Structure 1
């Protein structure tokens, strides 16, 4: 039990450092947060090799907590005004620290198995996030693309197809279609169905259009 508690402390520390990287960067030579993340990943991997059942149990518990947090944020999004997470306002998307921990996961456990006690639940959680979390800001798009890339990384070794990831990528590309309102209305994912009402995303569309015109000239 002590090992499980210590392992969970490491997971929570990883998330905290990841969030600090998002908010304040590496922190200079005194903190070296990127190096902290590398060291934590190596420690988590070593402990997982020594006691895979213990590590798997802690990961499953932590993934359950993440899933509950995602569900709560999806409920809260209905009563909170959505802002840009990059500006410190409310967003339904998970924190950077959590996403970085999910990025470390396939380096700790094998992702080539068709079914895995930890990787499979993590994959399902990423799919839920992509499918259900509304995209309102540029920061949300960035996190969505990151989640899509994670799903592809998780499934690449097992030669599996992540439909939520490809659907999100297709919907993101639809933001720049000529008839954006009609094509997003047929998007398979509700997360991007109302993107035309979000000024940040439409501003991004205009910025890229202007950049394309400059390149053509």
Structure 2
């Protein structure tokens, strides 16, 4: 399980909006306070889907991952895409920021991991899936004990790629100990108008 210190503030105490407890459900449309450039497409709205992903044009109830670039017309950000059920236990929540300590922390984190970037966060969107059960499990069992919480943070700043983490099913349990920025459990990717297997040379950032 990821430590609280690794994550950005989340939950009711952080002022998050909470998704309804609905199997295969989603948030209402969320109008973004900053336009989000994603592989050459600019989005001004997003959906936080209970099954572990974010979509833009419409909500998604999909719980079986498909290989990229299938359904290339439907952009998706998927961190732990599987059949989750927040009716059993857990909370899916989200919030966006345009000022305050979260932006300060985002700026510091990105410049620590990418010291040549000179990044200055002006907007942050945080979505968190906290202790969600797998579909049809009892409310005393989470999907995977060591992956019982995961979080996306999307940053936009002064600096503006299908990127896929290739893990086998047997290695998924090691996500909490792996990283591409030398912080176990944390991954950072940059997404812009030039698809490539790159985590640098971009202006919009996604944190997991």
TM-score > 0.5, shorter chain as reference: no
Q: TM-score, normalised by structure 2?
A: 0.22
By percentage of residues, which structure has more helix?
A: 1
By percentage of residues, which structure has more strand?
A: 2
Larger radius of gyration: 1
